[in-house]
Amino acid sequence: MTTVALIVAAGKGERSGSALPKQFAPLAGRPMVAWSHATLAAHSAVDEVIVVIGAGQEAMLAAALPGARHVTGGARRQDSVRAGLDAAAGADRILIHDAARPFLSPAVIDRLLAALDTHDGAVPVLPVPDTLVSQDGTPVDRAALRRVQTPQAFRAPALARAHGGWQGGEATDDAQMVRAAGGSVALVEGDTMLEKVTYPADFAAAEARVAMETR
Ligand code: C5P
C-alpha cells in the first residue's frame, strides 16, 4: 500500500502580514512548511511527501526545504491539490495537508489512516468552544458543529473521482468534495496544536505554544 502526503503551500499568505508568504516565514526557528514536512516524512506509513508551491516560489522552497519534491499549484486550493494528485498517480492513499498548520502530531496521522479501513476519507475535527450566532444574532447550537482541520486522508480512487466530478465553486477542503461525490468521510479527533496560522497574532501564539511544549 503506497501512501503519499501532499502539502499544499501555493497560497499567497497575504493575511499574515509577513514579508514572505506565511508558509515560508520563520516560525520558532524553522520555516513554517518545514514543520509538517518533517512530521510527514518521518511517519513510517508515509512513502513520499510532495509540496505544492506557487509559480515563482521555487527559491523560497529550496531555502526552506532543500531537495524537497515539489510541483506547481494553481489559482485555487483545489487546483493546487489537483496538481499534487497528478504527481501522486499510483498511490493508494493520499494525505492532504495545509502548510498553514505546522504542528502536526504522528498520532493524528495514525487516527486518519486507521479510519481509511472503513471509510473513503477521514478528517480531524474539534468541538467549537465559543457561543455561536448567525449574522442576525440567532443562536446556533454549537454542540452540533465541528471545526475541520488538516491533514485529511483519502482512498486515492475516491479522491480522484471527487476532484474529477466536482461541479461546485471554490472548495475550502477536499472532504466536502468527496462527500459531494457520495463518498463516506469519518470524523476523527483533531488536535488543538494543529490550529491554522493565518494572521500576524497567530505567529506569536504558535511560537508561545512551541515554547510551552518544549519546556
Ligand atoms: O488560504 P488558506 O489559508 O485557506 O489556504 C489553505 C492552504 O492551501 C495553505 O497552506 C495554502 O498555501 C494552500 N493553498 C494552495 N493553493 C492555493 C490557495 C491555497 O496551495 N491556490
Complex ipTM = 0.96
**DSSP structure class, residue 172:** S
Residue 98 Cβ inside 6 Å of ligand 1? The answer reads yes
Q: Half-sphere exposure of residue 108, counting CA atoms within 13 Å on the CB side? A: 29
- Ligand 1 centre and the CA of 150: distance in Å? 12
d(CA 106, CA 36): 10
- Ligand 1 centre and the CA of 172: distance in Å? 9
Return the ligand 1 atom nearest residue 196 CA: 3
Residue 81 Cβ inside 6 Å of ligand 1? The answer reads no
pLDDT reading at 183 higher than 90: yes
Residue 70 Cβ inside 6 Å of ligand 1? The answer reads no
Instruction: Return the pLDDT at 49.
Output: 98
d(CA 77, CA 84): 11
Residue 100 Cβ inside 6 Å of ligand 1? The answer reads yes
Residue 77 Cβ inside 6 Å of ligand 1? The answer reads yes
Task: Categorize the per-residue pLDDT at 213 as very low, low, confident or very high, splitting at 50, 70 and 90.
Answer: confident
